[in-house]
């Protein structure tokens, strides 16, 4: 192992020691054929246990084949993961057989203070999975962050995940910027970023084009800010689905600003199961452009997922304080604004301001539809608001 120690002078009396741990020095081949997982874990172990200011694990501009790998903390310092090369997952479902962990490709667990940066690529090799029914294989994630805090990732590309590209589970204080996430339209369950039981998330200046939700926000979430994100193809940016099997959900302080939905199946979406409980509150969608998008603005509290339908219930997830402002563009759907809210717990305090949606088809009109939806509209509203002002 060759260790490189560099002292960076930040100012008078200030110096930061950067220690580099290159995976090639630990036996990695970088030939896209040899399994380099062991070399990566050895490099991570030294990086994680370094007591310098900025220990940095370096993946150079080569192609690396890895088996499912977990980079586990806690570490002695905040660590840097410099990804310049390409990481390849096993290329077919057959190659995953016999592996100890088949639910993720790359995982960071119990790491507090993590900086992932570079111009590198993570290839999930998902094509072999997309034609297999989901019931016959696990929910594979290409990149998973589990019970980790103070995470920063920038300029990384992730393509062709078997299912979810990035999963945040039980994390706090996360910032993603300049990401490129891509899978073909129609590739099943390939969410771009799925957030669950995680707080304080910032997603900025990124492109996400996938077969499912560009960003999906699950249960136990507060303080999510998404800005300058282009979504398409995909199912939009979704809060939910929430309340499956009668679970209680709590989601608050979600802000989506300066986004573009290009050819997506949905746009700004909130979806809950009839069986759910809990609440969604303090949500903002603003400065949004739609290009040939289906269901640009939609709340669906009768989300079912069962082709035979779901029986009625006497419960529901309460949705309140949702603001839609400065949203414009074209809709593939005739109903461009659809608030299909629960008869048990109506949607309240819904605000529309400066909405201008027209049909993607020349000569056609778009409409609004409201069911148990209460709130107010001001400014230019097209199509005309159907919100009820009295609860």
Which residues are identified as catalytic? 212, 235
Coil, strand, or helix at residue 26? helix
Q: Give me 303's structure tokens.
A: 């989300």
Q: State the Cα–Cα distance between residues 221 and 223, nearest whole angstrom.
A: 7
Q: State the Cα–Cα distance between residues 108 and 355, nearest whole angstrom.
A: 41
- Tally DSSP H helices, then E strands, for the chain: 3, 31
Burial class (CB in 10 A: 0-12, 13-18, 19+), 98: exposed
Q: State the Cα–Cα distance between residues 53 and 55, nearest whole angstrom.
A: 6
Q: Give me 223's structure tokens.
A: 């303080």
Q: State the Cα–Cα distance between residues 391 and 346, nearest whole angstrom.
A: 9
Closest CA to 269 of 85, 280, 244: 280
Contact 108, 74 (CB under 8 A): no
Distance of CA 231 to the CA centre of its chain: 11
Cβ neighbours, 10 Å, residue 8: 11
């Amino acid at each position: 192992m060759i260790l490189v120690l560099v002292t960076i002078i930040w100012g008078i009396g200030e110096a930061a020691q950067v220690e580099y741990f290159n995976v090639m020095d630990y036996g990695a081949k970088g030939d896209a054929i040899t399994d380099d997982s062991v070399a990566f874990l050895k490099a991570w172990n030294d990086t994680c246990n370094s007591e310098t200011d900025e220990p940095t694990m370096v993946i150079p501009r080569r192609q690396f084949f890895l088996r499912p790998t977990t980079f586990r903390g806690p570490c002695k310092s905040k660590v840097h993961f410099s990804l310049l090369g390409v990481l390849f997952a096993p290329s077919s479902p057959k190659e995953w057989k016999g592996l100890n962990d088949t639910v993720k490709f790359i995982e960071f667990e119990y790491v507090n203070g993590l900086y992932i940066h570079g111009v590198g690529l993570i290839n999930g090799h998902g094509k072999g999975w997309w034609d297999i029914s989901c019931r016959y294989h696990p929910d594979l994630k290409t990149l998973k962050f589990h019970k980790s805090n103070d995470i920063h990732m920038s300029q990384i590309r992730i393509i062709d995940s078997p299912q979810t590209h990035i999963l945040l589970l039980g994390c706090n204080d996360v910032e993603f910027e300049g990401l490129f996430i891509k899978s073909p339209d129609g590739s099943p369950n390939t969410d771009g970023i799925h957030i669950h039981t995680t707080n304080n998330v910032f997603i900025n200046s990124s492109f996400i084009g996938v077969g499912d939700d560009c960003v999906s926000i699950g249960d136990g979430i507060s303080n999510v800010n998404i800005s300058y994100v282009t979504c398409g193809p995909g199912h939009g940016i979704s809060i939910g689905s929430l309340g499956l099997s009668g679970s209680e959900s709590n989601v608050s302080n979600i802000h989506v600003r300066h986004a573009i939905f290009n050819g997506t199946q949905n746009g700004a979406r909130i979806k809950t199961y009839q069986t759910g409980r809990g609440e969604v509150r303090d949500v903002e969608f603003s400065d949004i452009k739609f290009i040939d998008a289906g269901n640009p603005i939609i709340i669906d509290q009768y989300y079912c997922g069962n082709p035979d339908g779901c029986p009625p219930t006497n419960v529901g997830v309460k949705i309140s304080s949702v603001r839609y402002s400065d949203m414009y563009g074209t809709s593939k759907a005739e109903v461009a604004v659809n608030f299909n809210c629960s008869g048990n717990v109506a949607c309240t305090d819904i605000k529309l301001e400066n909405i201008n949606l027209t049909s993607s088809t020349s000569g056609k009109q778009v409409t609004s539809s409201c069911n148990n939806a209460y709130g107010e509209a001001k400014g230019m509203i097209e199509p005309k608001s159907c919100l009820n002002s009295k609860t």
